[in-house]
Structures are given as structure tokens and as C-alpha cells.
């Protein structure tokens, strides 16, 4: 039986993707075969689609680092046909054919049962970007943040990770300063719960300074590069900056003084290779006490015909919120 998959191929004109009929026999090895009902679109998918060899080495390839749906075949005792499951990260969509397809086949140790309270559809509104935002908040909480200690900054605030971070922090009672390059999206960010929205240049004004006025207890940075360097000197003693992305750069130059005089920390966030138990803990949390009232407001549901335009928008930094892909 065939299924539809978004295959990216290298042509003389560059990389291009299109929906094709694919034979089940071509699915990779793995214990669990899943009928994918929903996927989601992340910046990393856009990189894979654009031919970025740091993400995907060989083409033709099916991107999609997220997938949620129903088990159709399982050679693992942990899963049975009909189970509702989600897969995110590990090698899915990178060098293993991913969730932009109606079927995937993966190792059992990549698969998580969907907890009560989290449908396949909601799980893909969160997706890797949302789970990364949740992991960032978890890391900051372990570092001692609390709502009464002052504002928390979120950069790349209209993006996938950023929009969920804004909404989640606001939901948990934090005062949120959203940093965005999209002036026209100020009402959107306020609707998610941002108390203040500032332009990127306002944060970047501290770039190159060893120390600056400490305005924020912590920050969730989603863009990387100089933004991290500009945030660190503005963080209060014992505060922290999480870093997960590299849209604005892959390295930063920062003085040691905020670290050694204020005890500021930079905390790395990885959602891809972490143990499955931690992934399960995160989805259990978002299914329960961290369920987001603003989830629908920040999620656009797209059909297969809208995938290419969405990937192009993400590549240009023009995405807003989360994009859930319906595979039906």
C-alpha cells in the first residue's frame, strides 16, 4: 500500500520538495510503524528542506522532526496497534524519513505514549518547538526562578519556541518581556500574555558591554549569537539565560564578569537526544498543569498544499507561532 510523503530532492535548480506517492516497502527499519495524523513545522525542518547538510546528509529525503498518530504495526511489547503515540527528535526527519508523511517506521525507543489530556492534534501544536520552550522553563525553574523575582525575557518571541515560551511563562504567572523584530505582531504577543514587547535593538544595545543595568531575572533565548552576549550582562545576580537556537548566530563573545561577579549562568537546552524518560516527563507536564489556554491562538493548522509556503516563511524568519500539519 502506498502513502503520501513530502519528498525533498536535489535538482540542478537547487532543492525542491513535493508530495509523492511512496511505497511502504521503502520505510526504514524499525519496530514501530505509525500512521501519522499530524506533524508540525519547525525551523529545523526548513533547514532540511533547504538542503542544509548539517541537518540532512542525503537526499531524496522526507523531513519532519515531529509526528503524532496511531500505531499500525509493532514488534515491541511496549506498543500495540491502535495506541496513540508521539515521536519527536532523535534522528526523525534528519537522516531518517520523518513526519511529513502519512507513515513512519521508527525504533521503539523513540516512541512515547500520548498521556491522557494530550491529543495527537494538541501534541503537534506544541511539537519540538513547544517542548523545547517547556524544557527551557524547566531548566530556569531548577535554577531558581519564580514569578515574584521580576521579568523574564523571551527572544524570537513570535517564533515557534518563543511564542510558546511567552504563553507558558505568562500562564505560570511570570511578567514576560517579549523581544521581537515584528512590530505588527505586538497585539499577538500581548494576547499570549507578554506584559511588554520590545524591539531586538533594545536588548542588543548591551552587546559588547561587560556589565549593564540588571533588568531581568532570566531569559529564554531562541536565536543565539550576539543576542546571548547582549542578554547576559542584563541578568540579575544568580539568574540565567537558556540558549537553544542559532538563527542569529552560532557563537557569542561575552565577558566573564557577569558569571564571576553576579553568578549568572548560561543553560543549554537540547530536546533532541535527551533520554526518553525526560521527554515523557515534559509531555506529561504539558498534558496536565502546563496545559496552555493560549495554544489554539498561537497555532495555525495547515494542509499539505500549504507546507512549502510555510517552510519558506520560516527560512525567512517570517513565521508567527506554531504550524500544525494535517496529514489526512
| Residues making contact with ligand NDP (CB under 6 A) | 42-44, 128-129, 132, 156-162, 180-182, 200, 222-223, 244-248, 269-272, 314, 317, 319
- Among residues 27 and 157, whose Cβ is nearest to ligand NDP? 157
Least distance CB 133 / ligand NDP (angstroms): 8
Compute the chain's Rg from CA coordinates.
Answer: 20
**Exposed, middle or buried by CB within 10 Å (0-12, 13-18, 19+), for 222?**
buried
The residue at minimum Cβ distance from ligand NDP is 159
- Strand pairing of 32-41 and 103-106? antiparallel
- Among residues 107 and 317, whose Cβ is nearest to ligand NDP? 317
Q: Helices 120-142 & 160-171, crossing angle to 10 degrees?
A: 70
Least distance CB 286 / ligand NDP (angstroms): 15
Other C-beta atoms closer than 10 Å to the C-beta of 305 total 8
Least distance CB 230 / ligand NDP (angstroms): 11
Least distance CB 227 / ligand NDP (angstroms): 6
Least distance CB 42 / ligand NDP (angstroms): 4
Evaluate whether 218 touches 153 at the Cβ level (below 8 Å): yes
For the stretch 33-61, what's the b/e string if a residue is b when 16 or more beta carbons lie within 10 angstroms of its beta carbon? bbbbbbbbbbbbbbbbbbbeeebbeebeb
Least distance CB 77 / ligand NDP (angstroms): 29
Evaluate whether 64 touches 98 at the Cβ level (below 8 Å): yes
Evaluate whether 325 touches 124 at the Cβ level (below 8 Å): yes
- Among residues 122 and 136, whose Cβ is nearest to ligand NDP? 136
- Among residues 36 and 228, whose Cβ is nearest to ligand NDP? 228
- Among residues 132 and 294, whose Cβ is nearest to ligand NDP? 132
- Among residues 103 and 324, whose Cβ is nearest to ligand NDP? 324
Amino acid at each position: 500500500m502506498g502513502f503520501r510523503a513530502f519528498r525533498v530532492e536535489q535538482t540542478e535548480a537547487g532543492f525542491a520538495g513535493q508530495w509523492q506517492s511512496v511505497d511502504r516497502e521503502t520505510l526504514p527499519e524499525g519496530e514501530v510503524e505509525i500512521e501519522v495524523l499530524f506533524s508540525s513545522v519547525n525551523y529545523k525542518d526548513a533547514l532540511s528542506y533547504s538542503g542544509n547538510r548539517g541537518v540532512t546528509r542525503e537526499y531524496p529525503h522526507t523531513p519532519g522532526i515531529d509526528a503524532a498518530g496511531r500505531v499500525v504495526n509493532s514488534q515491541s511489547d511496549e506498543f500495540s496497534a491502535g495506541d496513540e503515540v508521539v515521536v519527536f527528535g532523535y534522528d526523525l526527519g534528519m537522516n531518517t524519513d520523518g513526519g511529513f508523511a502519512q507513515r513512519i517506521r521508527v525504533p521503539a525507543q523513540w516512541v512515547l505514549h500520548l498521556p491522557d489530556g494530550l491529543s495527537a492534534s494538541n501534541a503537534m501544536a506544541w511539537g519540538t518547538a513547544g517542548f523545547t520552550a517547556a524544557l527551557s522553563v524547566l531548566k530556569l525553574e531548577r535554577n531558581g526562578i519564580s514569578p515574584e523575582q521580576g521579568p523574564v525575557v523571551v527572544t524570537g518571541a513570535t517564533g515557534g519556541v518563543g511564542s510558546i515560551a511567552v504563553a507558558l511563562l505568562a500562564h505560570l504567572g511570570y511578567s514576560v518581556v517579549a523581544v521581537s523584530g515584528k512590530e505588527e505582531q505586538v497585539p499577538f504577543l500581548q494576547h499570549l500574555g507578554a506584559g511588554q514587547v520590545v524591539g531586538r535593538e533594545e536588548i542588543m544595545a548591551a552587546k559588547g558591554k561587560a556589565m549593564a543595568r540588571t533588568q531581568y531575572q532570566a531569559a529564554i533565548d531562541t536565536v543565539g549569537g550576539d543576542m546571548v552576549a547582549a542578554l547576559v550582562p542584563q541578568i540579575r545576580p544568580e539568574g540565567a539565560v537558556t540558549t537553544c537556537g542559532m538563527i542569529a548566530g552560532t557563537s557569542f563573545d561575552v565577558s566573564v564578569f557577569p558569571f564571576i561577579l553576579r553568578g549568572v549562568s548560561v543553560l543549554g537546552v537540547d530536546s533532541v537526544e535527551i533520554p526518553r524518560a525526560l521527554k515523557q516527563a515534559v509531555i506529561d507536564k504539558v498534558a496536565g498543569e502546563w496545559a496552555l489556554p493560549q495554544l489554539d491562538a498561537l497555532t495555525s493548522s495547515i494542509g499539505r498544499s500549504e507546507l512549502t509556503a510555510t517552510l519558506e516563511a520560516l527560512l525567512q524568519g517570517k513565521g508567527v507561532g506554531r504550524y500544525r500539519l494535517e496529514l489526512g
